[in-house]
Amino acid sequence: MALSSETLEVARKRLDEELQHIETELDDLGFPSSGEVDVTFDEGFADAAQATSERAKVLSIAEGLRERLEDCKAAVVRIEKGTYGICESCGEEIPPERLEALPAARLCITCKQKAS
């Protein structure tokens, strides 16, 4: 059973909102959409070890956000191609409840559990 146009419209809206939110977060962290990275701290920052630790935390957060950004972009492409809601591994439909919880889901629950 294919997803209804209403379901796809809702998913697209949620994905667009998520994309905007993630891009804002990345900009706030100093990671513009251009992909250039500039993680700097004040010269008076406590010490080099703490600065390195903080820089690593920021880079880790940014990496997670970029992964979510790419997942959302890929989901939008799947909507446009008509393959949204189809598991990329087994080809079965992803349950609507999973898509509601994770609009960018690429895999059904069974395949996701196998992959983990």
pTM of the complete model beyond 0.75:
yes
Q: What's the average pLDDT block by block, 10 residues per block, for the chain (116 residues)? A: 87 96 92 60 61 83 93 97 95 94 95 91
The answer to whether 20 touches 93, Cβ cutoff 8 Å, is: no
Other Cβ atoms less than 10 A from the Cβ of 99: the count is 21
Domain ranges of the chain: 5-84
Helix (H) or strand (E) holding 31: none
pLDDT given for residue 41 in this prediction: 54
Residue 56 has which token pair?
């690593």
pLDDT given for residue 1 in this prediction: 64
